[in-house]
């Protein structure tokens, strides 16, 4: 898996597979602690982009842990924003 260590899992927080793997090995942490230590899934998208990959990685590197046992949640934005507002475009 060394060839995958630079693979970016969480684009918002720029967390790589290697960082996740190293954190699990160093701290023997829970899924919640892994998220807090690496910030994976805590970026702008609230985990909507990386959550599935993060769940699979957690299951692989933490044997005996089921995704349903992980008390992590998706965090939707405070309020939806249109593309025009985000791009500051006048109609």
Reported pTM: 0.64
Show me where the domains of the chain are located: 2-86
What percent of the chain clears pLDDT 90, i.e. is strictly above it?
11
What are residue 11's DSSP bridge partners?
Answer: none
Query: With respect to CATH, is domain 2-86 assigned 2.60.200.20?
Result: no
Closest CA to 52 of 64, 67, 71, 63: 67
Span 16-35, pLDDT tens digits: 999 988 888 888 777 778 88
Nearest to residue 57, comparing CAs of 19, 91, 11?
Answer: 19
């Amino acid at each position: 898996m060394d060839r995958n260590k630079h693979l970016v899992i969480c684009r918002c927080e720029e967390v790589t597979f290697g960082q996740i793997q190293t954190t699990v090995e160093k701290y023997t942490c829970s899924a919640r602690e892994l998220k807090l230590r690496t910030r994976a899934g805590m970026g702008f998208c609230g985990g909507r982009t990386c959550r599935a990959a993060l769940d699979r990685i957690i299951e692989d590197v933490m044997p005996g842990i089921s995704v349903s046992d992980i008390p992590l949640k998706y965090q939707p934005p405070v309020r939806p924003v249109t593309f025009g507002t985000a791009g500051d475009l006048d109609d």
